[in-house]
Every structure is written in C-alpha cells, then in structure tokens.
Structure 1
Amino acid sequence: MRVRWRARLHRAVRLGVAAAIVGGLITAESSMWLRLQAQGHVFDVASVPPAPVVMVLGAQVYDDGSPSPFLQARLELARQLYAAGKVQAILVSGDHMDWGYDEPGSMWLWLNARGVPAGRIIEDHAGFDTYDSCTRARRVFGVDKMIIVTQAFHLERAIALCRHVGVDASGVGDTTMRRFRLPWAQASVREYGAADKAAWDVLSGRDPVFLGRRETSVQDALNQG
C-alpha cells in the first residue's frame, strides 16, 4: 500500500512539474509576442507622433468618484498630449458595469476640470478590459489611429492588442507611479497572467462583453476643427 501511495505521489509531482513548465512556456511566448508587437511604438510625450485621438485606459476610481493616483497619472499624460497639440480628442474607456461605479465619468470630470473642453472628451462606458477597449475603439468609435496612455508595465499589452484589432496604435507609459513600490511590483507581476489572457483573446477573436451600435462621437469631436 505504501509503495502504491508513493508511486501516485511521484506521478502527481511529475505532472505538476510538467504543467508548470508548459504554463511557463506559454506565458513566455505570450509575453514575447506582446513585446514584439509593441516594439518601435513606445514613446514619451515629447517624441510620440501626433494622432487624432488618445485613449486613456481605465483604472480604479474611489467611492467619492475621484480617480486613483494611477488613473490620475494616465489622465495627466493625456492632458499633456492635448495641450501640446499632439491629439485633438481624448477617448476615456473604462468600467461602468455597475451604476454606482463610473470610471469614464470620473475621467471626464478630471480632464474637463483641468482645461480639456467637454466636446473633446468621449466616454466609452464598456471598456471592461484592455481587449474590449481596443476592439470598441475600432469597431464602435471608428478609430483607426491613436495614442494609448497607461502605466508603463501595461503599455506593451495595450499597444499589441490595439494593433491586432486594426488600430495604428502608439503609446506613452507613465512611470511616476513607481514611487508606490508595492502596488507597482504587484501589478507588474500580474502582467504575466494578463499576457496569457491577451493571447487567448487574440486566438479566440472574441467580441467584447458589450459591443453595441456604431457611434459618431469621436468623429464629431474631431470635426470641431
């Protein structure tokens, strides 16, 4: 009986090790694909080529409706790009699944309070993840060229996914939030798992959680001249 139990234990250990190796290889391949797709498309505010639109990807909003420091840093990059004349409109894409939690609305208010005209800010209330935001930017809002702003650890994945769905995307990544060392490190580690999800999204070609009808709000903002 003891010999049989040991044999089963050894078999389980071998299977576990094999699964860990396979999982690691998949993650490494996914991360490499994202890096290659984003290569040559990562810039800073001064050097990024102009585009009609900048998309701000959503992040945590507090109970009082104010954006978290990580989200404020993203919004500040978008504000700088608009002020510098690099973009003509700002698409804020985030989670508004629950009525009481509104990332796009919070982003709109933050930008407008800092000088971005209301007509230049477009809200996407169904940007539930990066893939959804990129897909909806292309298929719902008709964006075919844009700049993406997010934290630096997230930027390659965002650029790769947007380029995969047909958007000529460049990106500017925030690094100021490195001062929050633990949250930055935790988020950076989570990117390995997010790389696997990104690969699945690409391979499955899934539709966003909510696609909806085509909207002209981005084009309307651009038509203001």
Structure 2
Amino acid sequence: MAHLAQVSARLLALGVLAAAPQLYARASTHRDRGPAATGDFRPADAALVLGARVWEDGRPSLFLRQRVEAGVALYERGLVEHLVLTGSGRNREGLDETASMQRTALELGVPAQDLVRDKSGHDTRASALNARDQWGLSSVIVCSQEFHLPRAMWLCRSMGLAVQGAYPPVLIREHTAFGYARELPASWKAAIEIARERPTPT
C-alpha cells in the first residue's frame, strides 16, 4: 500500500508539472477572459482574430468562422473599431487563412476599411508580435476558442500588449477535447519562448 501511495504521489507530481505552464496561463488571465457576446470587456485598439483551418474551397472551418464571429460581436458592441485578421497567407495546403476570414467578416457586415489582414501570423507568437510591431497596437481583445485563449493572452502580454480574451460558444465535440489536450505541450513551448525573450540581468 505504501508503495502504491508513493507511485500515485509521483504520478500526481508529474501531472502537475506537465500542466504547470497551462495552469499559470489560465490563472493569470482568467479575469480578462469571457464570452464575446456577453463578457465584461474594456474598449481596445482592435480585436486580434487568430487564424485556423480553411477548407480547400476557401470556406473557413467552424472554429475559424467562430473566431471571426467573436471579433464581429466585439465590433458590433462598440468595443473595438478594427479587426486584425491574423493567420497564414499560405498555409500547409497553400491556402490564405486571412482571405477567408476577410470574406466572412464582410459577409457579417463589417466594412472593408475596418478590416486589417496580417498574412504573416503563422503562429500565435507571430500574431502577437505583429500586432505590436507591424500594426502599432497597444491593447487587443484576442478572439479564439476558450481552450486557446490563456496561452494566446500570455504570449500577447509577454510582448507588452494590454490583452483581454473573447471566446465563442464552447462546442462539445472531439476537436474541442483535442484542443484542450494540445494546449499542454503548446503552453510549454510558449513558456520557453517567453523565457528566451526575457532580457538577462546585467
């Protein structure tokens, strides 16, 4: 019994260690995350809408459409004046995520002049960096699925951005479960990237 208890304690410790970056990201951002339609947000420079999969015919995947809808909801609520649609201009399938995002936002009634396409947002860190350096933003409301927001917000804050996070309705499906599981290693990657960028004391 004692041996079993020791094994259980070690497994628990390993589990906590594996989840540590994700737990930190969640704890440090939870007050600034909420549903796009009803969350209590402060006005920001722009909604930073993160890219996702596009189908071969150019249609956005469900997750990508939801992200754009979240940004549009913030726009319609008067919380942002612009949507920065950030993703890969040429993903692994050779498709432009931002073009699909732009078409969706236009269909949902956002004027073209209030849309910005960032075609070099090939990952979350690049999107955060571009928001600061390429588009000159100081505050953003990141739009993505709930499972993705803590890491995305953590990366944005590491770039010096004032950040909030807005998510669409959470879908109970296999891809959502996979998304939560994927955030464990992805959060470790983010933690390493953030640590590397932190200036060393002189």
Residue 174 of structure 1, aligned match among 168, 189, 192: 168
Residue 31 of structure 1, aligned match among 22, 32, 46: 22
- Count, aligned residues: 185
CA distance in 2, matches of 1:175, 1:115: 20
CA distance in 2, matches of 1:115, 1:96: 23
1:195 is aligned with what amino acid? S
Unaligned stretches of 5+ residues in structure 2: 1-10
Q: Determine which structure has more spread, i.e. the larger CA radius of gyration.
A: 1
| Cα contact 2:85–2:117 (8 A) shared by 1 | yes
Residue 203 of structure 1, aligned match among 153, 172, 195: 195
SS at match of 2:41: coil
Please tell me whether residue 192 in structure 1 is matched to residue 184 in structure 2.
yes
Residue 41 of structure 1, aligned match among 9, 21, 32: 32
1:29-65 superposed Cα distances (whole Å, 9 cap, x missing partner): 2122212331321123332122120010000000001
Which residue in 1 is equivalent to 2:114?
A: 120
User: Cα offset for 1:71?
Assistant: 0.6
| Cα contact 1:145–1:167 (8 A) shared by 2 | yes
| Cα contact 1:27–1:195 (8 A) shared by 2 | no
Unaligned stretches of 5+ residues in structure 1: 1-19, 207-225
Which residue in 2 is equivalent to 1:83?
A: 76
2:26 is aligned with what amino acid? R
CA distance in 1, matches of 2:116, 2:186: 26
Please tell me whether residue 102 in structure 1 is matched to residue 96 in structure 2.
yes
Which residue in 2 is equivalent to 1:133?
A: 127
* Runs of 4+ more than 6 Å apart: 20-23
Residue 66 of structure 2, aligned match among 35, 60, 73: 73
SS at match of 2:144: strand
1:73 is aligned with what amino acid? Q
User: Cα offset for 1:26?
Assistant: 4.4
| Cα contact 1:26–1:196 (8 A) shared by 2 | no
CA distance in 1, matches of 2:20, 2:35: 27
CA distance in 1, matches of 2:81, 2:14: 43
Q: Please list, as runs of the form range in 1=range in 2, the aligned pairs for 1:207-218 lying within 5 A after superposition.
A: none
CA distance in 2, matches of 1:100, 1:186: 24
Q: Please, what TM-score do these two structures have when normalized by structure 1?
A: 0.76
